[in-house]
Chain A
Amino acid sequence: MLSFINLLSPYYMYIKFAHVIFVMMWAWSAVQAFTHYLIPAFSAWRQRPDDENAIKRRNWAIERFDDGVLFEHIAFPIVIITGLLLYVLGGWSTSANWLLLKLAIIVVLMIPIEIADYYLAHFGGNKARIRIAGDMQRYENMIQWHWLFFLITTPIIMLFATTIIFLAVVKPF
């Protein structure tokens, strides 16, 4: 373990660079697609739930979004790994209050949210795969669960992702 730390110690700033880049990718890569493609498509469907065009566009948007969040979901494990490396190599401890609060937010909120997001976008909830399998009732159910997931997690992520970045940069206490 000690030799591993000694081996990577000179690369602390490079790992930090990777951490910051992937945090940016995790935090912002899906914002534009979510705000300007997904929400309008779902809003149109919510207003006219029986409109065939609205349903088609909603389905297209969510299937594209399932693929679009790939960047975010590649970035997240890298953020966790590089974050742990920085913690060990930098000699940080939980006596730093800002770091402890940041860790609490990640463990309590971000990891469960991302696990649910992985499932809904890439695994059992992947809409394109369900449509190809022909199970249209499950397709509709998964789209609705995904929408509820967005409704719940959007305010959480807006507030707490900003808080995480604020804590890391400002280190206020």
Chain B
Amino acid sequence: MITTDFFGYPKLYNRISWAIAIYTTTGIYCFYTAIKYFFHNETSLLAWQPILVAFIFASLLARYIFLMMMFIDGQFYRKKLKKKHVTFDNKTA
């Protein structure tokens, strides 16, 4: 018997959202800063202010990703949206 229970759950989504947010922010910041530093000799992004902004952005991004994952996975709107979709097959079968 092949299980159809999905392995995702909110705690995992929370961890994933933080991992993705940190990867995204660090990646974009490093890419941008490296090009500016090595090709244009600009060091303005190597200060605490841009790093603080990046950290705040990463926190907001993690929250946004988590909420969207929960929303798309149907944790928030399950009862409201699902009825027509769930009963469609059973009614037409």
B-binding residues in A (CB < 8 A): 39-41, 43-51, 53-57, 94-95, 100-101, 103-105, 107-109, 136-137, 139-140, 144, 147-148, 150-152, 154-156, 158-159
**A54→B86 contact, CB < 8 A:** yes
* Pair A53/B28 contact, Cβ less than 8 Å: no
Interface of A is mostly: helix
Q: Which residues of B contact A95 (CB under 8 A)?
A: 40
On chain A, the residues within 8 Å of B89 by CB distance are 44, 51, 53-54, 56-57
Given A100-B32, A104-B31, does the pair A144, B64 have CB atoms closer than 8 Å? no
Q: Are A150 and B72 in contact (CB under 8 A)?
A: yes
Q: Which residues of B sit under 8 angstroms from A54, Cβ to Cβ?
A: 86, 89
Residue of B nearest to A46 (CB): B74
Q: Which residues 4-55 of B have a CB within 8 angstroms of A?
A: 4-8, 13, 16, 20, 23-24, 27-28, 31-32, 35-36, 39-40
**Bound-state Cα–Cα, A14 to B89, Å:** 48
Which of B6, B35, B65, B88 is A152 in contact with, Cβ under 8 Å?
Answer: B65
Please determine whether A100 and B85 come into contact, CB atoms closer than 8 angstroms. Answer: no
A115 to B16, CA, bound (A): 19
Cβ-defined contact, B31 with A108, below 8 A: yes
CB distance from A57 to the nearest CB of B (A): 6
26 contacts between A and B (CB under 8 A): A41-B85, A44-B82, A45-B4, A46-B6, A46-B78, A47-B78, A47-B86, A49-B4, A51-B90, A53-B93, A56-B89, A94-B35, A101-B28, A104-B35, A108-B27, A109-B28, A136-B2, A140-B4, A144-B6, A148-B8, A151-B8, A151-B72, A151-B73, A152-B20, A155-B64, A156-B24
In the assembled complex, the CB of A148 is this many whole angstroms from the nearest CB of chain B, namely: 6
The answer to whether A137 and B2 touch across the interface, beta carbons within 8 angstroms, is: yes
Cα A46 to Cα B61 with chains together (Å): 25
A104-B27, A147-B6, A152-B69 given; name 5 further pairs at CB < 8 Å.
A45-B4, A46-B6, A100-B32, A100-B36, A144-B8
Nearest-CB residue, chain A, relative to B79 = A47
Compute how far the CA of A86 lies from the CA of B5 in the bound complex, rounded to whole angstroms. 47
Q: Which residue of A lies closest to B3 (CB)?
A: A140
Chain B residues near A50 (CB-CB < 8 A): 4
A52 closest partner in B (C-beta): B89
Cβ contacts under 8 Å, B81 to chain A: 40, 43
